[in-house]
Amino acid sequence: MSKIIPYVLMLAAALVSFQASAQGRIAVVNLEVAIMQTDEAQAQMESLRTQEDYQSDKTEFDQLRAEYDELVASIQKDMSVMSVDEQQAARKKLASKQADLEHVAGKLQQAEQLAGQEILQAMSPKVQEVLRELIATEGIGLLLQRNSVIHADAGYSITAKVTDKLNQLAVASE
């Protein structure tokens, strides 16, 4: 009887693994990353960054950043010899410059987020087509959005495959 137990356990393990493989494999995907890494999305984001309004804001941001860094260095250098009133004025000036910098950075970030949302929305039908194809060809039984998963090894991710398929669709449609 004790000689049969290992065989029964091996058979049970084989059946469990067979059942698990019959249900399909598990995969995760980060759709936002997959879409935003496509050639089409990269080209659209580059197009945004070359627009006059964006360039103007970027130039203003770079200038404000340089002024802010210069002001910080100056204050740090002269802090020990400044009077209390001068220190207070310097802090106010620094806070004002930081607020200006954050405002312009917010405008740049908002422009990129809006463009990103438009790209995600426009590519949604293609993504659904690619996902259906990958689910069928890869034998995926459970597909999870990456940000809903606490942990997944890189081997579970199909994000790069989705990006590649989207790039192939774009080339094929040209």
pLDDT in tens, the chain (174 residues): 445 544 434 444 444 444 444 467 999 999 999 999 999 999 999 999 999 999 999 999 999 999 999 999 998 998 889 899 988 998 999 999 999 999 999 999 999 999 999 999 999 999 999 999 999 999 999 999 998 889 988 889 999 999 999 999 888 877
Q: Is residue 41 assigned to a domain?
A: yes
Residue type, 23: Q
* Distance (Å, whole) CA 91 – CA 72: 9
Range of the domain at 64: 24-173
Residue 23's pLDDT is what?
A: 61
Residue 109's pLDDT is what?
A: 96
Residue 150 is given by DSSP the state S
Q: Is residue 121 assigned to a domain?
A: yes
Cβ contacts of 147 within 8 Å, gap of 6 or more: 30
Q: Is residue 99 assigned to a domain?
A: yes
Q: Is 111 exposed, middle or buried (0-12, 13-18, 19+ CB in 10 A)?
A: middle
Q: Does residue 104 contact residue 57 with C-beta atoms inside 8 Å?
A: yes
For tokens 């770079």, name the residue. Answer: 62
Q: Is residue 138 assigned to a domain?
A: yes
Residue 4's pLDDT is what?
A: 52
Number of domains in the chain: 1
Residue 34's pLDDT is what?
A: 95
* Distance (Å, whole) CA 52 – CA 65: 20
What sign does the CA torsion over 32, 33, 38, 40 have? positive
